[in-house]
Structure 1
């Protein structure tokens, strides 16, 4: 199976590197010049729970994407605001047999991929894998995590490819499963990120210090429950007890991980707030569910972005 990874930040590098290390045919389409140059020269240096691996990877830029050949799967890791741009770069490797896969943050990712291929050729889901770019060509990850996805339509070929990809990722050390009920998982993660990502970004804290404080921990939980209320109104029942368990696991195992939104604010970049809090607020308004905490955090991130954009 020929795979192209687009949106090669921390997670795209991690997944692509793990698949390459396991012997799969993987090409990384890397837009960032420094990251691309470092991997071409030194391979990907991947730190996993205290161990280091130097992994040779195939890297191309946007102009050379077509040299990779037609892909069976294009895995999309970019932030939602850049989805159309990176898939436009990847067009030379997409034909009528290619499946697009998204495990991106936020709501509505499958619908964005459907601008490029029919919905029957889309696999969508989410991942709880953490990752940080330590330096160009150097990525760090840690702790336990699960990736879940399913075929968006009813095409048996796409379903079979989802099964194959899940096995490949799991064999490469990335625990993955096909879950037909993945919308519950997506809504759970969106609800979680509406609270954790925005508060970490606003307060300049990683999850450990944020959740050490009883007041901010209570705010996190209350904000998450607002997202769950919107999901319920949309017909998706999120396991609220499991989300509370996730908070405790993150507090324990991911204390020093920097959420991407905090990294974006620190580097003066646009965040993913619209696909998270913005999407939940819009859904809440449409469904008649109040979201005062989610909406407040949305407004505060907008104000923070206005300082540098």
Structure 2
């Protein structure tokens, strides 16, 4: 407890804790709409597609600035999104197969660029490979400030356009009939997904950031049937995952924050599977026992009625 209290009082720990908590909160909120629109793989695709954007941004600027990395990764994510759309529109390849093609090709290109940088004449390329698995402890004050502003902006946009996002997620045809620009709203959702993926790469990494977006949303689905509550619960689960992962990584030596954050999200998912009030395994088991008991009581009542009729 003394070690934990000392860590909490550390200003660097406070900044990292705040940024990872806000990152989990915004990722959980955005992930709900991606999950409901059955685009869970899209987050993984955009995360892997962001790697070449990060490498190109570093090669052009020569600095390891999170802002430049955000711009490069965001541009690469948008190119990947348009690439998926172009493949599905101009061929018979289905959407999931197109995402797999884009994911593998962009990630392979990023690994090639990363190898070129590591063996090239770049003086400060050390630590660039940490974007594969994340390194929250390496964030400086400007990185934390940028991540916090972007995360709060994502939450604000989702709050402002919640009604539109809800309509497009559940019934885009009805939304189109009401006069909403469905294509524009879908592109906005995709852009927010790109931003959420890009901003989480520094802390969680390219490989694991998709799990931080999807896992809280899936966990929240076990606790409610209403989208508003689902978004709130998913955000809380994401924030808890970020906070717990940061604290556990700080208590140990050389423990990575990103993987621990994902493991914390997975633990919350397992708790949701077991104890969810509507879809949890325990709730389903109790419902089966209740139904079986009511059936047994009804059969027993009918048997008693038959026996009474036979006696008469």
- Give the structure-1-normalised TM-score: 0.28
Larger fraction in strand: 1
Bigger RCO (CA 8 Å, 6+ sep): 2
Larger fraction in helix: 2
